[in-house]
Amino acid sequence: MEGFEVTGPYASALFMSLGALCAFIWGVLSGAFHNADEASLRFYEMEMESDAHSERAGHVEKEDE
Q: Alpha helices, DSSP H only, in the chain? A: 4-30, 36-64
Count CA atoms closer than 13 A to 30's CA, side-chain side: 7
CB atoms within 10 A of CB 54: 9
Q: State the amino acid at position 56 in one-letter form.
A: R
In whole angstroms, what is the distance from residue 44 CA to residue 24 CA? 24
Q: Tell me the pLDDT of the chain (65 aa) as tens digits.
A: 567 788 889 999 999 999 999 999 999 999 988 888 888 899 999 999 998 888 777 765 555 55
In whole angstroms, what is the distance from residue 61 CA to residue 65 CA? 7
Three-state DSSP at 2 gives coil
pTM: 0.53
